[in-house]
Structure 1
Amino acid sequence: MHHETPPLKAWLLLGLLALIWGSSFLLIKKGLLAFSPDQLAAIRIASAGFVLLPFILQRVKTVRARHWLKLISVGLVGSFIPAFLFAFAQTELPSGVTGVLNTFTPLATLIIGVVLFHQRAVAQQWIGVLIGLVGTTLLVTASASGAFEFNRYALLIIAATICYGLNLNLIKHHIHDLSALTITGVSLFLVAPPALAYLLLATPFTSQLATPEQWFSLSAILILGVVGTAMALVIFNTVVKMTDTTFTSSVTYLIPIVALVLGIIDGEPFFIQQALGLGAILGGVWIANKRKRQPFNTQR
């Protein structure tokens, strides 16, 4: 652990990481202009999985037989399924709201850790969870009229955060003997071929690259997969090595702010209910992790 003040380079990289992960929701929005949600998710997973291949060729040697099924599970729960959930959710949700809802990941991780993995939790952590749930409720029911109108598509994002929470607990409790880059790179590569096969064989993708709009959307999705996953992972691991996991986990608080600001710049509405929801979720995350902070990878 590094106890000295983080260097300027670490702060700059942390800011870059927040920009990359925070902008991923806007990139999804732009990708959906020309492609269906399932196509977007497939392109995202395939590009992320294959671009990491050079980084994991040597690391595959450290993977044992007992790891493979767990790594497939991580690939499915940590990347493949959430990619589809986010894509379908953003057909009816603003990118800024999606970015804020994604912040529920640390709280979902805590709940799953206690319920399924017999982790111990103090009262303070449960208070944080309850406050976060209130914030999530405000976001799920926010509307232009100020009335409470339930948006069922927000449940897809909550389901994605549950997937992330399950994934983080699987890694922590069952694959702790592999490095973060090995886990992410190998697990993504395992689900990349099925995603690519689905894209090429089950969708009209190859016939959809005829207009500038389609190429623009494809570029947005490729940036989402390559930069938002591969580059972000390298930056995340670099910052952890330069400082510690507590410092790096503070990106949790920056991502929704970036997502909301970019959404507003792109013309998305912003309601007082959403501001209250953002404040409650971030407050809940801070309270739940005040005693014992842990790194939470909130977008991958």
Structure 2
Amino acid sequence: MRRDLLLGLLYLNLATLFWGSTFVLVKDGLQTLGPGQINFVRFVIAMLVFLPFLFRRDARLWWAGLELGVMLFVAYLTQTVGLQYTTASRSAFITTLYVVALPMLLGLLGQRLGWPIWLAAGLAVAGVGLLSYDGSPPNPGDLWTLGTALAYALYIWRLELFARRFSTLPLTGIQMLTVALLSLVWMLWEKPVWNTADFPYFSLLYLGLVASALCIWLQALGQRRVPAPQAAVIFTLEPVYAAAFAYILLGERLGLQGLIGAGLIVAATLISQLRSPKPYPEQVTPEV
């Protein structure tokens, strides 16, 4: 039903809205903690939210959650490491290249996509470039963040399948557990030093509870209803929401280039819904 598709779009937009505030928080946290420490703490917090849903004895559910969790770990790790070397705006631009990588991947797998998706992907990348790209020279962080785009393209593709097949609460909880454990291994390899004096308590609580637990669950709910290529285009609204937060909270204003970029992204999200396939007719698992 069309109502299901609209509800899925609402879930994805809410997740993207909250994600719009995370680049600056992670960048700030890196002043005190390493990438492994940030990801370990935020995903332990997120995992605790879903602890009651981790006692499911379903091997297929666990394999699905583990697969998604590994891809999610790679995406968050490469983005966090990249932010050590590049700016938040440049990271946002490179990350959104998944909106092009995903249709290319689906095309290689034999799936035909209509012209609205390809047009929307091109407009979205151009819009994010105008809105976020700072024109600074290439740096090692760019290469790390390119890994984020590729990992997230794979994640969005696989999540569409698993979110329709399994209950989203335990599926999300297993992902949080997987990312927390892998982040623990990475953190120990970094040989971290904990500085309690400047520990970013608020930032990590927000990253764990809102940007991880809530947003990844909302993404799973949304992708039960919205095909992966359309979902990828919607996620490019992230820098638009980030700019809106900066305007409301910090008084920062977009120049003409930024306004044009934001307009292109909004147009891309609308175009991506043209001739969209019908939403999935039935849910094979409970809503949550």
Into which bin does the TM-score normalised by the smaller protein fall? 0.7 to 0.9
* Structure 1 Cα separation of the partners of residues 2 and 121 of structure 2: 29
Structure 1 position 290 matched with structure 2 position 274: yes
Name the counterpart of 1:3. Answer: 3
Name the counterpart of 2:54. Answer: 56
Q: SS at the partner of 1:291?
A: coil
Write the deviation string for residues 99-153 of structure 1: whole angstroms up to 9, x where unpaired.
45544444433222222x321112333233333444455567533xxxx854663
Name the counterpart of 1:95. Answer: 88
Write the deviation string for residues 162-205 of structure 1: whole angstroms up to 9, x where unpaired.
21211122233467422333322212212322323443574234
Write the deviation string for residues 64-121 of structure 1: whole angstroms up to 9, x where unpaired.
3xx54443221111x2111112212323444355445544444433222222x32111
Gaps of 5+ in 2: 280-288
* Structure 2 Cα separation of the partners of residues 103 and 282 of structure 1: 14
TM-score, length-normalised on structure 2? Answer: 0.72
Name the counterpart of 2:111. Answer: 119
TM-score, length-normalised on structure 1? Answer: 0.70
CA contact (8 A) 2:36 2:183 kept: no
The verdict on how the C-alpha distance between 1:203 and 1:286 changes in structure 2, with shifts beyond 3 A counting, is: farther
CA contact (8 A) 1:245 1:294 kept: no
Out of 208, 213, 221, the position equivalent to 2:195 is 208
Out of 15, 20, 34, the position equivalent to 1:36 is 34
Aligned alpha-carbon RMSD (Å): 4.1
Out of 145, 152, 167, the position equivalent to 1:157 is 145
The verdict on how the C-alpha distance between 1:277 and 1:90 changes in structure 2, with shifts beyond 3 A counting, is: farther
Name the counterpart of 1:74. Answer: 68
Gaps of 5+ in 1: 296-300
Structure 1 position 186 matched with structure 2 position 165: no
More deviation in 194-203 or 161-170?
194-203
Taking the TM superposition and a 5 Å limit, the aligned residue runs for 1:12-31 are 17-31=15-29
Name the counterpart of 1:257. Answer: 240
* 1:126 alignment partner AA: W
* Structure 2 Cα separation of the partners of residues 55 and 135 of structure 1: 39
The verdict on how the C-alpha distance between 1:218 and 1:136 changes in structure 2, with shifts beyond 3 A counting, is: same
Name the counterpart of 2:211. Answer: 228
Identity %: 23
Out of 129, 134, 153, the position equivalent to 2:121 is 129
More deviation in 67-76 or 148-157?
148-157
* Structure 2 Cα separation of the partners of residues 284 and 105 of structure 1: 14
Structure 1 position 109 matched with structure 2 position 102: yes
Report how many aligned residue pairs link the two structures: 274
* Structure 2 Cα separation of the partners of residues 288 and 258 of structure 1: 18
* Structure 1 Cα separation of the partners of residues 33 and 66 of structure 2: 27
* 2:51 alignment partner AA: L
Q: SS at the partner of 1:61?
A: coil
